[in-house]
C-alpha cells in the first residue's frame, strides 16, 4: 500500500487540540467505535495491547465528568468550555492492569491514531491528563483493574486553531495562547532545532 507523504503531513498539521465545540452536533456511537478500531493497528510494547476505552456519551455522565477535568494549563482564568461549547462525547483511555502496570509507549501512539481518525471525519478533540484519577474511576464505576490514563474530549470544533513558527532562541516562548478574536495559537519549533548533529560528524 502506497501512502502519500504530503497527505500525511497535511493531516498531521490539521490534527490540532480543540477545547470549544458545537454542542448541538452529536457523534454516533458507531463513529466512536470506528475510532477505537484504529488502535488495533498501532505498535504495542511487548505486543501486550493493554489499553481499554470507555465511551462516555450520555448527558448525565458527561455532566458528571466535566467538572473533574482541567482544560488548559496556560489559561489560568478559564475553567473550560461554557455550556453550548462542551464536548459531544468523551473517550477515557484506561490501562488494564491485568497485563502489567506499564503501557510503555502505547498510550500516546493510540491517542494520536484516534485523533488523526477524528480529523479525517471533521471532528476535533483535546487530550486531557489533568484530572483526579480516583474520583474519575469512582464516578464512572470503573473496575479496580482499569487505571485511567487520559481523557479525550471530542466533538465538532467551534474554534480556529493555527500553527505558527516559534523563535527557538534562549528566550523562546512555547506557550499556546488565545487572541481577542478567539483564535487559538500554537507555536511550533523549527525543523532545524529538532535535529541533533555532532560538530565532528564530518571530520576525519
User: What pLDDT is recorded for position 90?
Assistant: 98
User: What pLDDT is recorded for position 168?
Assistant: 83
Taking a C-beta distance cutoff of 8 angstroms, is the pair 42, 103 a contact? no
Region of residue 46 (phi > 0: left; psi between -120 and 50: alpha; otherwise: beta): left
- In this structure, are 170 and 150 located in the same domain? no
Taking a C-beta distance cutoff of 8 angstroms, is the pair 147, 172 a contact? no
Taking a C-beta distance cutoff of 8 angstroms, is the pair 55, 34 a contact? no
Whole-number Cα distances in Å, 19 to 23, 48, 148, 202 = 12, 32, 20, 46
Q: What is the pTM of this model?
A: 0.94
- In this structure, are 102 and 64 located in the same domain? yes
Q: How far apart are alpha carbons 80 and 39 in whole angstroms?
A: 28
Chain segment 102-160, per-residue pLDDT in tens: 999 999 999 999 999 999 999 999 999 999 999 999 999 999 999 999 999 999 999 99
Range of the domain at 202: 160-204
Residue 198 within any structural domain of the chain: yes
Total domain count for the chain? 2
Taking a C-beta distance cutoff of 8 angstroms, is the pair 46, 132 a contact? no
Enumerate residue ranges in the chain where pLDDT < 50.
Answer: 202-204
Measure CA 127 to chain center: 3
User: What pLDDT is recorded for position 198?
Assistant: 66
- φ/ψ of residue 190, rounded to 5: -70, 155
Which stretches of 5-56 are DSSP H helices?
Answer: 5-14, 29-37
User: What pLDDT is recorded for position 194?
Assistant: 93
Q: How far apart are alpha carbons 95 and 52 in whole angstroms?
A: 6
- In this structure, are 80 and 136 located in the same domain? yes
Residue 141 within any structural domain of the chain: yes
Cβ neighbours, 10 Å, residue 192: 8
Residue 175 within any structural domain of the chain: yes
Taking a C-beta distance cutoff of 8 angstroms, is the pair 133, 29 a contact? no
Amino acid at each position: 500500500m502506497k501512502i502519500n507523504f504530503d497527505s500525511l503531513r497535511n493531516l498531521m498539521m490539521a490534527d490540532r487540540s480543540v477545547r470549544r465545540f458545537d454542542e448541538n452536533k452529536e457523534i454516533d456511537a458507531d463513529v466512536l467505535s470506528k475510532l477505537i478500531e484504529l488502535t488495533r493497528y498501532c505498535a504495542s510494547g511487548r505486543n501486550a495491547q493493554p489499553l481499554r476505552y470507555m465511551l462516555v456519551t450520555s448527558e448525565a455522565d458527561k455532566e458528571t465528568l466535566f467538572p473533574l477535568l482541567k482544560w488548559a494549563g496556560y489559561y489560568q482564568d478559564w475553567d473550560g468550555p461554557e455550556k453550548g461549547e462542551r464536548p459531544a462525547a468523551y473517550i477515557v483511555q484506561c490501562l488494564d492492569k491485568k497485563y502489567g502496570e506499564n503501557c510503555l509507549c502505547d498510550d500516546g501512539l493510540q491517542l494520536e491514531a484516534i485523533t488523526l481518525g477524528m480529523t479525517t471525519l471533521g471532528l476535533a478533540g483535546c487530550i486531557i491528563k489533568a484530572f483526579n484519577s480516583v474520583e474519575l474511576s469512582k464516578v464512572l464505576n470503573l473496575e479496580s483493574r482499569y487505571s485511567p490514563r487520559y481523557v479525550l474530549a471530542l466533538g465538532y470544533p467551534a474554534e480556529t486553531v493555527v500553527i505558527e513558527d516559534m523563535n527557538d532562541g534562549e528566550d523562546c516562548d512555547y506557550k499556546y495562547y488565545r487572541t481577542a478574536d478567539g483564535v487559538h495559537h500554537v507555536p511550533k519549533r523549527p525543523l532545524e532545532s529538532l535535529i541533533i548533529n555532532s560538530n565532528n560528524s564530518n571530520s576525519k
